[in-house]
Amino acid sequence: MRDYYNVKVNLPAGIVSPGTLQNVLKLASEAKVRTVRFGARQQLLMTVHYEDMRFLEKDLKQHQITYEVNTEQYPNIISSYCGEEVFRTGAWLRESEYHTVLDQLDYQPRLKVNLSDANQSFTPFFTGNLNFIASSDPHFWHLYVRPKQSNTVFHWPELIYTNDLGRLARAVEEAMLDQGHREEESLYKAVTSGQAFITQPVTEEVDLPEFSLPYYEGFNRYGQRSWLGLYRRDEQFSIAFLLDVCALCLKTRIGELCTTPWKSLIIKGIEEKDRAAWSYILGKHNVNVRHAANELAWQTEDNTDDGAELKRYVMRYFEKNDTRTFGLCFGVQTLPKSEVFGSVLIRKRPLVQIGRLSLFSVYDLYFTENFNPNSRTYHLFERGLFKVHVPNQINRLCRKFSARRVQEITEMVRLEPDKPEPVSDELIMVHQCPHCFTVYDEQYGDVLNDIPAGTTFGNLPATYTCPTCDAPKEEFRAVQVEFAN
164 and 252 co-located in one domain: no
182 and 103 co-located in one domain: yes
For position 239, which CATH number holds? 3.90.480.10
214: closest CA among 174, 260, 151, 253?
A: 260
Residue 428 confidence (pLDDT)? 77
Round to whole Å and give the CA distance between 417 and 405.
Answer: 22
Residue 24 inside a domain? The answer is no
172 and 231 co-located in one domain: no
300 and 405 co-located in one domain: yes
Residue 365 confidence (pLDDT)? 97
Residue 206 inside a domain? The answer is no
Question: CA torsion sign, 32 to 260 to 157 to 145?
Answer: negative
Provide the residue-wise pLDDT of the chain in tens; the chain has 485 residues: 469 999 999 999 999 999 999 999 999 999 999 999 999 999 999 999 999 999 999 999 999 999 999 999 999 999 999 999 898 777 799 999 999 999 999 999 999 999 999 999 999 999 999 999 999 999 999 999 999 888 889 999 999 999 999 999 999 999 999 999 999 999 999 999 989 999 999 989 898 888 989 999 999 999 899 999 999 999 999 999 999 999 999 999 999 999 999 999 999 999 999 999 999 999 999 999 989 999 999 999 998 999 999 999 999 999 999 999 999 999 999 998 888 999 999 999 998 878 777 778 999 999 999 999 998 889 999 999 999 999 999 999 999 999 888 777 666 555 445 455 444 455 678 888 876 667 888 888 887 788 888 899 889 998 888 876 677 888 888 887 655 44
Alpha-carbon separation of residue 423 from 420, 427, 479 (angstroms):
9, 12, 21
183 and 227 co-located in one domain: no
For position 377, which CATH number holds? 3.30.413
- Kind plus residue range of the DSSP H or E element containing 59: helix 50-62
Alpha-carbon separation of residue 218 from 88, 231, 243, 475 (angstroms):
17, 9, 19, 41
242 and 257 co-located in one domain: yes
Residue 44 inside a domain? The answer is no
Count the neighbouring beta carbons within 10 Å of the beta carbon of residue 49: 14
Residue 42 inside a domain? The answer is no
Last residue of a domain, one of 255, 270, 293: 293
325 and 268 co-located in one domain: no
111 and 178 co-located in one domain: yes
Last residue of a domain, one of 293, 321, 346: 293
Neighbour order of strands in the sheet with 439-440? 439-440, 425-432, 477-484
Residue 359 confidence (pLDDT)? 78
Task: Tell me the HSE value of 453 on the side-chain side, using a 13 A CA sphere.
Answer: 2
Residue 319 confidence (pLDDT)? 94
Domain count, the chain: 4
The strand ranges marked E within 92-236 are: 113-116, 130-134, 140-145, 154-155, 158-161, 199-201, 218-222, 225-230
Range of the domain at 271: 218-293
Residue 15 inside a domain? The answer is no
Residue 212 inside a domain? The answer is no
Residue 415 inside a domain? The answer is no
In angstroms and rounded to an integer, the radius of gyration of the C-alpha atoms of the chain is: 26
160 and 116 co-located in one domain: yes
Residues in Cβ contact with 415 at an 8 Å cutoff, skipping those fewer than 6 apart = none
283 and 328 co-located in one domain: no
358 and 461 co-located in one domain: no
For position 444, which CATH number holds? 2.20.28.10
Identity of the residue numbered 52: D
Identity of the residue numbered 428: I
168 and 271 co-located in one domain: no
Alpha-carbon separation of residue 186 from 176, 191, 192, 401 (angstroms):
10, 9, 10, 41
Residues in Cβ contact with 137 at an 8 Å cutoff, skipping those fewer than 6 apart = 159, 200
Alpha-carbon separation of residue 281 from 17, 242, 273, 275 (angstroms):
19, 10, 15, 10
Round to whole Å and give the CA distance between 304 and 271.
Answer: 37
Round to whole Å and give the CA distance between 343 and 340.
Answer: 10
Assess contact for 256 and 15: CB atoms under 8 A: yes
Residue 466 confidence (pLDDT)? 80
Question: CA torsion sign, 61 to 40 to 126 to 90?
Answer: positive
Residue 55 inside a domain? The answer is no
